[in-house]
Chain A
């Protein structure tokens, strides 16, 4: 597949990444993970655990305090970010609120990256844009402005735009946030189809358990208390664990107190990271 630098390197490799804003103490310290080709990878965690912040570091919007991020084997910040834009062209991002350009209709939104970065003819670009909109279930809405379609449709259009340059890797920030169960399930199905048929790797930021269990192949769970990854592995397997309490609580929708074994008073056992694999 084009847009990737070479077939061998994993789509994403994160080494000892420390996430922090400004001078504030870090939110996450020295985290490591890897997204493999063709897999749907979940970045999970409670609200405020730093999921979006990790994403912002991985896609090169924010420079990490420490550590390195490789996209298809390319160090994002080598040469002081000199070829950051080349790296950026080989992944697509769907932002939490869609972030479609409000002054363009959907067809133009999806065509824009192709117009900027490819040498395809105008007809081919239009065909490609229609094709992608249809792929995400938006045929018939090509000439609608983003403000005139619903939130779920905006997110699907944003996926179509993320697909514009046929990247091998797509990041999604909270794809199911604010969507009804049916729309959300439709979106999950779409992600699964794309991963299977196009061999795309997905990095999905979410705390929506239903969609995690449905589509995610492998996941990391972030915890703000230990400032790192508290568990890593197949979410269906993680859900069966009872230790550490935070993992059990997260996957079973329990309060933390309950997961620790009834009653908050029972000895304040410090959570320890646990891994599968």
Chain B
């Protein structure tokens, strides 16, 4: 019975109209080619009798194939009539026919351009409100936490700090080290032509500590921890855990977002320090390879960095830590339901984070220039 063998369709033309004789097993295995002779055009009101008495087996898919072919003939102008099926197959065929008569849903109409546009605008508007509400709530919770630190759940803060912060140190160091190395190498190529190779130290020092260290740490954290926050909270939202927290009279922001944001604020500056160190060290390696003493390089690099630059580095890393965790958590808590929601929340969290970091960094650069620091 495999591969639809044995099923046969024979077309007979009589005076009153056409008759189709079906025989053999009409099952899921029947191939579409078997239906080629089934009349499907130019009906002109002729009658088409389908003789089922030769069938030896019938299942739902077989019935569906027959009924679908019959419907096509009906549209082509035939008056289709089904004959009696063998005793033991009648029940299935009737079941299938009745079921199909009840099935009648039309596909939903496609959404027009303006409707789509309007919906998007409305959604963005709602998103914005949610975002601002979240920011306000988070700030309130942070202030509360500062006033009464004993009420913060330090256990969760510490465990998040370990997973999201400490465990990120190796990858941040590696990326930063390589970036320091590349900058030093490229600038050394240019500066050595003027015999000013040692100025590479000044350059790497300022570039890494003022800009790249915080930036690299923030971007790696956005990809690593921010996305994890979105996914975790998104999954909790999907599993109604967030609703459970709300109905207990607790605040999801305080219970879920606050520990993560605090952990991120506390660990990001440390991670940034590690990034700066690794970056400067990477630069140093290039200069040692060019026969400079590592000690001299180190002194120049550190000396050139003013206290203000250092504070900028630390300040930025606080800010980035806050933003990365806050956006990550917000996207998670704002996740929709449905199976794709967690994935969407995660993607949206990472994208928003990277955009936010880039914009924030540029704004700060402009501000510091204006303030002359």
Contact = CB atoms under 8 A, between A and B. Distances in A.
Interface of A: 1-3, 102-103, 114, 118-121, 123-128, 130-135, 139-143, 145-147, 163, 165-166, 193, 197-198
A206 B157 CA distance: 43
Interface stretch (B58-66, B145-153, B217-225, B349-357): B58-66
B3 to A, nearest CB: 9
A118 B61 contact: yes
B195 interface: no
A168 to B, nearest CB: 9
A1 B59 contact: yes
Contact of A124 (B32, B59, B92): B32
A39 to B, nearest CB: 17
Given A1-B57, A166-B27, A127 B64 contact: yes
A143 B108 CA distance: 7
B103 A166 contact: no
Interface of B: 1, 4, 25, 27-33, 35, 57, 59-65, 67-69, 71-72, 91-92, 95-96, 99-100, 102-105, 107-108, 337-340
B61 A128 contact: yes
A165 B64 CA distance: 12
A56 B365 CA distance: 60
28 contacts: A2-B59, A102-B338, A102-B340, A114-B61, A118-B28, A118-B29, A119-B4, A120-B28, A120-B32, A120-B64, A124-B35, A127-B65, A127-B68, A127-B71, A128-B65, A128-B68, A130-B100, A135-B96, A142-B103, A143-B105, A143-B108, A147-B338, A165-B28, A165-B61, A166-B28, A193-B95, A197-B92, A198-B59
A197 B60 CA distance: 11
B60 A2 contact: no
Contacts of A198: 59-60, 92, 95
Contacts of B107: 143
A125 B35 CA distance: 14
A134 B65 contact: no
Contacts of B72: 123
A228 B91 CA distance: 39
Contact of A120 (B61, B92, B105): B61
Nearest to B96: A131
A138 to B, nearest CB: 9
Contacts of B4: 119
B111 to A, nearest CB: 13
B222 to A, nearest CB: 27
A-B pairs, top 7 by smallest CB distance, nearest first, are A102-B339, A128-B64, A2-B27, A127-B68, A134-B103, A147-B338, A130-B103
Contacts of B62: 2, 166
B105 A163 contact: no
Interface-centre pick from A3, A124, A143, A198 (highest chain B CB count, 10 A) = A124
Contacts of A118: 28-29, 61
Given A131-B60, A146-B339, A166-B28, 7 more contacts: A3-B59, A124-B65, A132-B99, A133-B103, A135-B95, A139-B104, A143-B105
A166 B28 CA distance: 7
Contact of A131 (B33, B35, B63): B63
Contact of A140 (B31, B65, B68, B105): B105
A48 to B, nearest CB: 21
A96 to B, nearest CB: 16
A61 B28 CA distance: 25
Contacts of A145: 338
A114 B60 CA distance: 12
